[in-house]
Structure 1
Amino acid sequence: MFVMPRKGRKWWRKTIVKVSILSLFFYWLISEYFYWDRVWMAGEISHKELVECRKKLSDSKYLPILGGGLLDVSKLHGFFWSVKMSKEGCVGDNLEGSFWWTGTELRNTYDEVGKKMIRLAGPILMWLPDFF
């Protein structure tokens, strides 16, 4: 003959469901912790590689670009480039700056703006005392 425990079947079912849900929640929480720990470590390693890559490329005269070419950095003063790691290694990814094409050469905008400011400073300074 089957002996009924003191607690009813309904109570035992509820308890088993609660314990199962709680166990699944803690299993998920622990797995998420370890997943994000691995992601954080991978990010830290890639950041260290990028810092070493930037140091290496800042000393070189030529910047390797994506696709296998080299860019002469000495002719591009005033430009900023970003670096990324790829299958080819450490390469320049994005070149940022502004220039003017004169038909024969590239001129840096920063240099040109400086020249214009010097040319315009004379007439502007001449009018300043009249305003005060």
Structure 2
Amino acid sequence: MTFSPKNPPRRFHVGQDGEIELQDCGSVHLTPNQQVTFRTEGQNQTAFDVTRKDFGYYASNSLNGTLPRQGLRPALCKNKNHALLYLLLVETGKEAEFLHYLAQTGMVLIAWMDNLSDEALAALSRNQA
């Protein structure tokens, strides 16, 4: 694994009106079967992993197992303006702030991925390619 920092970070704006400034701080380069864990600090510590595989990536831990145990709820969301889909990880207990963020940015929650019903899972299974 190597980390290529960007000094200074590249700054750019996102959001409906460009109201959110992000900072691209660098790149992590993984070879197959290497994993990196992202962690928060403070009282409500959370963590999630990204693992490189020969075929691509595991972009997250299990959606209904490890992530919730590590304090994160996976949410499938859609941008109302351009119909792009996003998987966001929400800190447990911050769902209200998350829903406010979605409203501000023109996004909608499609489903919490940590507690899909059997019916929803069956519908997804019918749509396998």
More helix by share: 1
TM-score normalised to the size of structure 2? 0.22
Please tell me whether Structure 1 or Structure 2 has the larger radius of gyration of its CA atoms: 1
TM-score normalised to the size of structure 1? 0.22
With a CA cutoff of 8 Å and minimum separation of 6, indicate the structure with the bigger relative contact order: 2
